């Protein structure tokens, strides 16, 4: 193979690679704007988490602080999992919940979590969910049914055992996980929510959420 031909081949491969990157499709799950922040639906568990909008060099984020209470912020949004099956989350836990048993009712609290929800009936109780969590005590990829309902599965994407008080970005194939964890072939999501709660353990947690979106790869 001549030197010239090798250079042409390398150029073609690089061109194809960058074209694939540019062709990757993304869909925002949260905008992290003041307008959106004011209109997010608050779901109280017990009391209410303190939610604040802030910003850093990478853009806006939502700061959450809970002490013996908990609530979530959610929105109805349709996500086509056939086109964009991967959820991407950037988050940070400043203060975690050490020593708790997260798969028990008394210890079922998380400093940070992101719910992905599929409506499967006429009421909220019939919905199926995957609860992607920033665990304080378990390992990445550990998962278990919620101690309150088998229709929601907790799945560890980050842990403070590896990343404490630092920003970390994670990715998960939501469509694959719905099939593995719920045995459902989900083509479209119905909504998302973030939650920081300590209502069961009565402890204090502080976390941050930023840049949550879906992608094709």
pLDDT, one tens digit per residue, over 6-63 is 444 334 444 444 444 445 799 999 999 999 999 999 987 888 899 999 999 999 999 9
Q: What is the pLDDT of residue 122?
A: 66
Architecture in CATH of 25-215: Sandwich (2.60)
pLDDT band at 124 (very low <50, low <70, confident <90, very high): low
Q: Give 63: exposed, middle or buried? Use CB within 10 Å, 0-12, 13-18, 19+.
A: middle
**CA angle (47, 50, 53) in 5-degree steps:** 150
Q: What is the pLDDT of residue 63?
A: 98
Sign of CA dihedral 30, 108, 144, 157: positive
- Tell me the average pLDDT of the chain: 89
Give φ, ψ of 196 to 5 degrees.
-130, 120
Give φ, ψ of 178 to 5 degrees.
-60, -35
């Amino acid at each position: 193979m001549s030197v010239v031909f090798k250079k042409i081949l390398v150029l073609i491969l690089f061109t194809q690679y960058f074209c694939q990157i540019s062709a990757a499709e993304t869909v925002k799950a949260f905008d992290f704007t003041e307008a959106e922040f004011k209109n997010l639906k608050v779901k109280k568990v017990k009391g209410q988490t303190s939610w604040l909008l802030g910003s850093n060099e990478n853009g806006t984020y939502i700061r959450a602080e809970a002490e013996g209470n908990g609530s979530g912020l959610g929105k109805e949004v349709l996500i086509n999992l056939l086109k964009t099956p991967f959820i991407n989350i950037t988050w940070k836990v400043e203060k975690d919940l050490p020593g708790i048993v997260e798969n028990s009712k008394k210890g079922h609290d998380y400093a940070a979590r992101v719910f992905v929800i599929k409506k499967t009936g006429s009421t909220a109780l019939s919905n199926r969910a995957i609860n992607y969590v920033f665990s304080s005590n378990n390992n990445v990829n550990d998962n278990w049914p919620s101690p309150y309902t088998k229709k929601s599965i907790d799945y560890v994407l980050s842990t403070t055992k590896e990343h404490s008080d630092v920003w970390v970005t994670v990715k998960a194939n939501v469509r694959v996980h719905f099939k593995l964890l719920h045995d459902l072939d989900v083509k479209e999501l119905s909504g998302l929510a973030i939650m920081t709660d300590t209502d069961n353990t009565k402890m204090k947690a502080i976390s941050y959420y930023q840049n949550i979106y879906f992608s094709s790869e």
